[in-house]
Amino acid sequence: MSRIVIALGGNALGNNPEEQKELVKIPAKKIVSLLKLGHDVIIGHGNGPQVGMIFNAFADAKKSNDKTPLIPFAEAGGMSQGYIGYHMLTAIANELKKEKIHKDVVYLLTDTIVDPNDKAFKNPTKPVGPFYASKEEAIKNNPNSTIVEDSGRGYRKVVPSPKPIDFIGINAIKENVDRGTIVITGGGGGIPIIEKNNAYEGVDGVIDKDFALAKIASLVNADTLIILTAVDHVYVNYGKPDQKALVTTNLKELEQYIKENQFAPGSMLPKIQAAINFVSSGKNKSAIIADLTKVEDALEGKSGTKIVA
């Protein structure tokens, strides 16, 4: 019927391995239900809590044992993709087996190419890792990093959030989707990769997963981008007496709402911007922002916010 890219938030996967192993069963069921309706499905996920857990664990271990190696943030991102990928791949494969559907599912670790001149590199803003009591201690444990004081709670490393421009292996992603494979990719937005001296190199950074999956959706010629979150709709005048749910909206309306500062920069705004990027990338494309548990209803227009050109 159509080709769908789903962006699943990392917070939907819990706070530890046991929680995650159970929670991935929910999107697995949704993905297979979409497959049964005839859709091609590509799914990506956030990794904020997971990469933080991994990065913090190594940082805390080093406090106790100086021989413990420092793990660069890019490597921690790669570890989080493997950890989440193992659970998602297994959950979807089990759901396919239960439904007696003979379909391949693959997890593709994602390296996301970014521009080394992206202005984000000059202004790192994303706090990562543990808090330190002093700036000196933070610098010692995070060499060659930008350190800031964070809201009176201590000192932390901050990393940039560059925009995705391409992906290593994008043709393999396309080929797998074209042959009907369920593809899990774009995990955590991917590991930021720059080209330097005619070679690729991983760098510290956090790529917004919604921007990355919107870009992947465009490159694989998807029809619909679904961004899953914890609310039934996008709202304007949120929390006010005249709060209004957006059922269907378009690019012109959304640009006006952005000018009015209707969407919170740290939560809904990037989802809206990612949706705009995708819908703007070609004809007859739409984006949906919806609750994880109501994916099928959202596709039928019974829930969620649909964004069209």
Q: Which residues are catalytic?
A: 10-11, 126, 209, 271
Q: Which amino acid is at 22?
A: E
Parallel, antiparallel or unpaired: strands 182-184 and 105-107? parallel
DSSP E strands in 65-177: the ranges are 105-107, 111-114, 126-132, 146-149, 155-159, 164-167
Closest CA relative to residue 277, chosen from 301, 249, 251: 251
DSSP-assigned letters across all residues of 159-218? E--PPEEEETTHHHHHHHHHTT-EEE--GGG-EEEEEETTEEEE-S----HHHHHHHHHH
| Structure tokens, 178 | 């074209």
Element (H, E) at 241: none
Give CA separation, 170 vs 173, 221, 240, 251, 306, in Å.
Answer: 5, 12, 43, 27, 27
Among 173, 32, 40, 18, CA closest to 111: 173
Tell me how far apart the alpha carbons of residues 211 and 51 are, in angstroms, rounded to a whole number.
18
Distance CA 60, CA 75 (A): 16
